[in-house]
Amino acid sequence: FPEMLSNPRLIPVQGTLNVVMNQNVILSCHSDSGSPPVRYTLFKRNQKVSTSNRTDLTPSLFNLTINSASDMGEYKCKAENNMSSGGKYSNGLNFTLIEPISKPVLSSPTSQAKKGQNVTLSCLSENGSLPITYTFFKGRRSISQSVMKKKEAAVIFLFINSSSDFGIYKCRAENIFRNNTKYSNSFNFTVADERSRSQPLIISLGLILLLFVIGFSLAIPFFIIPSYKASE
């Protein structure tokens, strides 16, 4: 006897709804029970995309290419046979467009530091789907990790306590697109020259002293000449 179709199931053959731009994807639409032949129709935002006829209950495969953000709407499929009235609809599927990480930039407001000083390092990838996980390294040793859910830099605070705190720092950025982990440029704090820091102060004191001597020299006639005339 003819049997009414069950609601079809729409699933991605690749097993994930995460896609990148220009990726080819395959959707499978399948009713587990019902009398063939079966007519499957794929819809995107209620607009017909493609139709396939099956003479048995094997899945119907629909090939798509994600070319732009307009291809990211909800997809559904409809199954029809001679017993269906209006057809049976599947669950809805929505793809998530993921963007690979760009190379992060590691930077600091200062490139020089001295012992006892607090410094900061920031790491930022300009492109990449959120969330982004940033990992900071000192040499090959991981020293901090931050998960950023907004498009902003991850920042760590460092205390320069000894000479071992100088050296090469790097950061790593990764998101859901695991095959595209990127490392930043290297950053190395250099030891601040204390003598160079004191030179501006010495120069300033020297100028003040010079101005004082000049001012004193100019003021001498105003004190000596009146005194000399008074003595006459």
In a domain, 226, yes or no: no
Q: Please report the pLDDT score of residue 220 as a whole number.
A: 65
Segments of the chain with pLDDT less than 70: 1, 194-207, 209-210, 212-232
In a domain, 19, yes or no: yes
Which range marks the domain in which residue 127 is found?
Answer: 104-191
Q: Please report the pLDDT score of residue 32 as a whole number.
A: 93
Burial status of residue 128 (CB atoms within 10 A of its CB: 0-12, 13-18, 19 or more): buried
Q: Please report the pLDDT score of residue 232 as a whole number.
A: 54
Q: Residues 13, 93: one domain?
A: yes
Q: Residues 109, 93: one domain?
A: no
Q: Please report the pLDDT score of residue 149 as a whole number.
A: 95
Q: Residues 116, 93: one domain?
A: no
Q: Residues 51, 126: one domain?
A: no
Domain CATH for 33:
2.60.40.10
Q: Residues 128, 185: one domain?
A: yes
Q: Please report the pLDDT score of residue 130 as a whole number.
A: 92
User: Of 41, 76, 97, which closes a domain?
Assistant: 97
Q: Residues 93, 142: one domain?
A: no
In a domain, 134, yes or no: yes
Q: Residues 85, 110: one domain?
A: no
Q: Residues 14, 89: one domain?
A: yes
Torsion of CA 50, 55, 59, 61, to 10 degrees: -30
Q: Residues 110, 187: one domain?
A: yes
State residue 57 phi and psi, 5-degree precision.
-100, 25
Q: Residues 15, 91: one domain?
A: yes
Burial status of residue 125 (CB atoms within 10 A of its CB: 0-12, 13-18, 19 or more): buried
Q: Please report the pLDDT score of residue 196 as a whole number.
A: 46
pLDDT in tens, 16-67: 898 888 899 999 999 999 999 999 999 999 899 999 999 999 999 999 999 8
Determine the Cα–Cα distance for residues 82 and 190; give it in Å rounded to an integer.
79
In a domain, 186, yes or no: yes
Determine the Cα–Cα distance for residues 101 and 126; give it in Å rounded to an integer.
8
pTM of structure: 0.60
Q: Please report the pLDDT score of residue 229 as a whole number.
A: 52
In a domain, 1, yes or no: no
Q: Please report the pLDDT score of residue 231 as a whole number.
A: 53
Tokens (6 digits) for 53: 């006829």
In a domain, 212, yes or no: no
Q: Please report the pLDDT score of residue 121 as a whole number.
A: 97
**Count of domains forming the chain:** 2
Residue 163: closest CA among 192, 184, 135: 192
Residue 68: closest CA among 6, 21, 115: 21
Place of tokens 């053959």: 13
User: Of 54, 69, 97, which closes a domain?
Assistant: 97
